[in-house]
Structure formats: C-alpha cells, structure tokens
C-alpha cells in the first residue's frame, strides 16, 4: 500500500487538513527555514555566534527531516509523535537562543512555530486515535 492510501486509512480528527494543504504550508515554510537556518549556520562558522546557539537549529533540522521517513516510510505513529514534539520544542529553544543575537531570526520562526503547534496536536491526535490499530 502506498503512503497516501495508508495515510487516508488512518482515523483522523475532522479538522485534519488535506495532504495538498499540508504540502502547500511546507512550501511556504521551507524558504523561511532555509534563509534563517542558513544565516545562523553561516554566523556560527564566521564566529559571530557560538555552537550552543546554533545547536537547537541543527537538532530541529534533523528532527524535521526525519519526520517524513518515520511517519510515511516506517509508518510509526508513536515515534513520529515523539519526533514532532522534538521539532516543536527545539523551535522554542532556538528562538530563545538566537533572540539576543538576531531577533529577526527568532521572529521569523513564528509561522513555523504556529504550524508545528497545529501539526503536533494533529499528530498526537492521530497517534491516539489509531493506538493499537494493526
């Protein structure tokens, strides 16, 4: 069964956005992530900020990138729920860490944080609604 058939077979909350809508939201967010994360990593390499400030950005990037393989490749809802909680938590951490250096980077994370907050509630709901389902 392909990933979309599998995803459509899951029990989901009535407010679940269509996969196309979710894709569109990420198409908007990824350029923001690319610019702000890239800026942070360049500033770290230039010695303008320490690695401890850049660390939550790196962790967030890894957690964000592995979500899709966990959710749709492995089809592991509980692990995907843990992963998205890490994504959500690291957005808060990175926004606080970068605030004193580059406030615009922190403020630019607001749409990312808003969407991941919704996506986290959605993922936790889908996980709970499908718990124990074979």
* In the chain, alpha helices (H): 3-9, 19-45, 51-68, 77-99, 103-108, 110-129
How many other CB atoms are there within 10 angstroms of residue 103's CB atom?
11
| pLDDT, tens digit (0-9, with 9 covering 90-100), for 60-86 | 999 999 999 999 999 999 999 999 999
Task: Judge contact between 39 and 106, C-beta under 8 A.
Answer: no
Residue 46 has pLDDT above 60, yes or no: yes
The Cα–Cα gap between 16 and 3 comes to 16
CA distance 37 to 77: 27
What pLDDT score was predicted for residue 134? Answer: 52
pLDDT above 90 for 93: yes
Give the integer Cα–Cα distance in Å for 109 and 95.
7
The pLDDT tens digits of the residues spanning 16-36 come to 999 899 999 999 999 999 999
The answer to whether residue 6 scores a pLDDT higher than 60 is yes
What Rg value do the Cα atoms of the chain yield, rounded?
16
Q: Is-above-0.75 flag for pTM?
A: yes
């Amino acid at each position: 069964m392909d990933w979309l058939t599998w995803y459509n077979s899951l029990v989901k909350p009535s407010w679940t956005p269509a996969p196309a809508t979710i894709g569109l939201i990420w198409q908007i967010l990824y350029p923001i992530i690319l610019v702000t994360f890239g800026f942070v990593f360049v500033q770290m390499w230039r010695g303008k900020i320490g690695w401890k400030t850049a660390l939550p950005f790196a962790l967030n990037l890894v957690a964000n990138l592995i979500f899709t393989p966990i959710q749709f490749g492995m089809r592991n809802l509980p692990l995907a729920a843990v992963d998205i909680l890490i994504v959500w938590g690291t957005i808060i951490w990175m926004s606080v860490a970068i605030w004193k250096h580059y406030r615009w980077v922190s403020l630019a994370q607001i749409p990312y944080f808003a969407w991941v907050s919704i996506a986290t509630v959605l993922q936790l709901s889908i996980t709970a609604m499908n718990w124990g389902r074979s």
